[in-house]
Structure 1
Amino acid sequence: MSAFTLREWETLPHGEGDGCIPEHFAERLAALAKKSTFVGSSGGGVLEDRRHDLRARGVVGVLATDECSLEILPKIDVEVQGGEAMQNAAIRKRLVHMLAVALDLKIETGQITELDWQRETLLEILIRIFCSKLIDAVRRGMPRRYMVQEDDLAALRGTLDLPRQFTRHAATPSRLACKFDELSEDIALNRIMKATVAHLFRMSRSPSNQQRLRELAFVYADIAEVAVSSLKWDEVVIDRTNRAWQELFGMAQLFLRSRYQTTSAGAGRGTALLFEMNTLFEEYVGRLITRALARTEYRVSLQGGRLFCLKSLDDERAVFQTKPDILIWRDGRVVHVIDTKWKRISSRIDNRKQGVAQGDVYQMMAYAQLYRAPRLTLLYPHHSGLGATELIHARHRITGHATILEIASIDVANGGNIIDRLQSLLLSSELTAELSV
């Protein structure tokens, strides 16, 4: 199967030579992309199918049809020696790390070699991690629970189901309608794992992953097969008896629930595992900031606030609700509002406004009015064009307010001591002093 890799906002030309994609492959991938919920009203949310090329947008992941696949990687500036394959490998590592943080998963990648990172797509790497974790878990034993069973037996077991006894066995009293508890592996969690294994087998194109999935399918042969749409997610209870399955349950949700789209009909037949980078960046930063302030006097809420901008004069109904990405509280009041934006801003030398969208500034001004926070931050991903220094690049005072609006960046390509770097942004003595005024 032909495989192509592209970074967001870059193009892949149509053609038959190296670095090109045949037009019939491009058409099928574009048709598959149009079935994504990220498409939007313009129909180009994942891929733009232009006259001479495909152009990726702000959605990353993998699109796969029967004959070809397209991996879209985020535009992250990584500093590695080597060619494009090495750079893509480093980006995959950072993307897996961001997913692990954002989805609160403990994903170990120690068994994946440097060569694997270079030659496998993001999808195959995630499938391999899932298979390895699941194989280790089932070796220790599948989770089991007591389930209510009903059966007609010669001797009483459990309790007698009187209504069934007097209706079904009135003429055959030698059979007893029994109701009893039995320890069973055929439970919601195992059914979800079986459905995930079956789904990934259809998605994977890696022979080694397919072999692992075949072995796991054999292990789950006695578990009932349930359609994904009918799985009982709410029946799964993670407690001390099955704590080791929490990460697997999270990964199953990643593959089977709302964070990706799957299609299997018409011109767009195929599968997709896609992530909107703006949302992923927001969740990644939000969880890191929560960790960074965990042992301080500050409290963090994500997608909180939810104050309304307007009230109707007719019926006092509130409209235009706000949902700031990150609110930082102290002593019961909001002291810092942070909004993340997965956009590449420019240095102040190139542009005094740094490429910050006017609409984003208006949004922060609304937050200043509603939440009365003395400090606002627009936080962007750092890149080499901003120089060697991440974090705060510009500070402005909102006209008519004492509120400070900062333009800042965080380097997601550098995962080392990122908690400490965020603490430096949030708790520097100069800025903390201003918050007390």
Structure 2
Amino acid sequence: MSDPIELIEHAGPVPHRLPDAVGQALAASRIIDAAPDPYTAGMWTLRANSKVGAVRVEVPGGEPVTVRIMPKVPITRLFFLFGYSLDPRGWRDGEVDVAEHREVLPALAHAYERQVDRAICRGLLQGYRVTEETALVVRGRIREAEQIRRRFGAALPVEIAYDEFTTDIAENQLLRAGVDRLLRLPGVPRDVRRRLLHQRTRLADITPLVRGQALPKWHPSRLNARYHPALHLARAIVDGASAEHRSGALRIAGFLFDMNKLFEDFVCIALREALIPHGGRSRLQAPGVHLDEDDSVRMRPDLVWYGDRSRPIAVADAKYKAEKVSGYPDADLYQMLAYCTALGLPEGHLIYAKGNAALNSHQVRRAGTVLHQHALDLNQEPGALLADVGELAERMAQGAAAQVSGHS
């Protein structure tokens, strides 16, 4: 197998020799920016954007090509952001265990296997599951509609439904789905793969999920509390954070985090938690916000903080990197001004990762609206990072209080 291609998120373009089919597949997948060199056959210019992780492109008759994309922040910090976004109270006191791994996929596989082990070390959780089947004896209740539709009034066999106390419940099915998904991915270290296989053996009696099937639903409770961290990770692994598809005879498989979404999720969740002591309520991806009087232009601010009588008192938007749309280099500011105008707010807050945008406060001509740009240093320890979010919440609260007093 050829050496893996290693890139760093949002770093400069790097030339690599690739089969044209692989380069075209990477370009079409939009996992990275890939363009052929116009002067040298077989050379491609590769540039990572906001996605980090690893993918492997498999070409019929050729060697697989692995692309690894490293985040700029330390792996431990990335997983703190990830874990906190999934469950802020569960992850507040510590970071996700990623051991010594320096790459995203090995760290994720290790962290998930450790969480699964902690969840089921005292035995698999049991619960009631509704089972529907055809039987010769009545157990539970008769499904009358099915009996009539299938049996046309015949007495036997009987279509029945009953509650079964079993380990084959949603929680364990989701844990197994996460294990199965990781075992299919390339790049999981041998020792971690061995431990994952051990966990799958412990979950051997659990029904595997069929690819494309809706994920089983579970509800947090005191009984399944020890499962919560593993279940949050399992859902993220299985549901949507992956890269796996086919393009003709090519196959791309792997696992990727989108740093844009990861940063946005963390900031919104952490800011919502930090605003709780200040009263009011926060809405993420706030619904019901429109730019025009006819409510035909819908907007979705990342966070809107509402005070008494459900009146908006602050708005914030998280941006991992400053938007630089061609012809509109300050697109983030235009967007925030639109939010403030629609919500009737005198100021708005844009929150970036430190080093990814210029920071300032801008007072808009003739409107008086103030647009604040803040930065969070993701290289800090979790406690210091959350403290900075707390200071930002305090600043928003002070602005909201001044706004309320101005209206009174």
Take 1:117 and 1:258, find their aligned partners in 2: how far apart are those partners? Answer: 23
Take 1:363 and 1:126, find their aligned partners in 2: how far apart are those partners? Answer: 35
3-state secondary structure, aligned to 1:258 = coil
Aligned residues: 378
Q: Which blocks of at least 5 consecutive residues in structure 2 are unaligned? A: 38-43, 59-63
Contact 1:292–1:420 under 8 Å retained in 2: no
Q: Match of 1:53, as an amino acid?
A: T
Contact 1:49–1:55 under 8 Å retained in 2: no
Task: Tell me the equivalent position of 1:62.
Answer: 54
Task: Tell me the equivalent position of 1:283.
Answer: 265
In the TM superposition, residue 337 of structure 1 has moved relative to its aligned partner by 1.6
Superposed, 1:217-236 pairs within 5 Å as 217-234=200-217, 236=218
Superposed, 1:166-315 pairs within 5 Å as 167=154, 169=156, 180-205=162-187, 206-234=189-217, 236-264=218-246, 266-311=248-293
In the TM superposition, residue 261 of structure 1 has moved relative to its aligned partner by 2.8
Question: Identity of counterpart residues, as a percentage?
Answer: 24
**C-alpha spacing 1:227/1:177, structure 2 compared with 1 (3 Å):** closer
**C-alpha spacing 1:327/1:152, structure 2 compared with 1 (3 Å):** closer
Contact 1:63–1:270 under 8 Å retained in 2: yes
Superposed, 1:146-165 pairs within 5 Å as 146-147=128-129, 148=131, 150=133, 152=135
Task: Tell me the equivalent position of 1:325.
Answer: 302
In the TM superposition, residue 366 of structure 1 has moved relative to its aligned partner by 1.6
Q: Which blocks of at least 5 consecutive residues in structure 1 are unaligned? A: 15-20, 40-44, 77-90, 171-175, 347-354, 387-392
Task: Tell me the equivalent position of 1:396.
Answer: 362
Take 1:422 and 1:179, find their aligned partners in 2: how far apart are those partners? Answer: 51
Task: Tell me the equivalent position of 1:84.
Answer: none
> In the TM superposition, what whole-angstrom CA distance separates every residue of 1:275-325 from its partner, at most 9, and x where no partner exists?
3322222111111111211211343221115322235xxxx5x32211111
Q: Match of 2:34, as an amino acid?
A: E
Task: Tell me the equivalent position of 1:373.
Answer: 345
In the TM superposition, residue 420 of structure 1 has moved relative to its aligned partner by 2.3
Take 2:360 and 2:160, find their aligned partners in 1: how far apart are those partners? Answer: 74
In the TM superposition, residue 254 of structure 1 has moved relative to its aligned partner by 0.9
Task: Tell me the equivalent position of 1:350.
Answer: none
3-state secondary structure, aligned to 1:383 = coil
TM-score, normalised relative to structure 1: 0.75
Contact 1:149–1:182 under 8 Å retained in 2: no
3-state secondary structure, aligned to 2:263 = helix
Task: Tell me the equivalent position of 1:72.
Answer: 69
Contact 1:307–1:370 under 8 Å retained in 2: yes
Q: Match of 1:144, as an amino acid?
A: Q
Q: Does 1:339 align with 2:317?
A: yes
3-state secondary structure, aligned to 2:77 = helix
Contact 1:31–1:267 under 8 Å retained in 2: no
Q: Does 1:117 align with 2:101?
A: yes
TM-score, normalised relative to structure 2: 0.79
Q: Match of 2:251, as an amino acid?
A: R
Superposed, 1:76-91 pairs within 5 Å as 76=73, 91=74
**C-alpha spacing 1:226/1:29, structure 2 compared with 1 (3 Å):** farther
In the TM superposition, residue 8 of structure 1 has moved relative to its aligned partner by 1.8
Aligned with 1:104 (options 67, 84, 87)? 87
Contact 1:6–1:72 under 8 Å retained in 2: yes
Q: Match of 1:6, as an amino acid?
A: L
In the TM superposition, residue 434 of structure 1 has moved relative to its aligned partner by 4.0
Comparing 279-288 with 61-70, greater Cα deviation is found at: 61-70
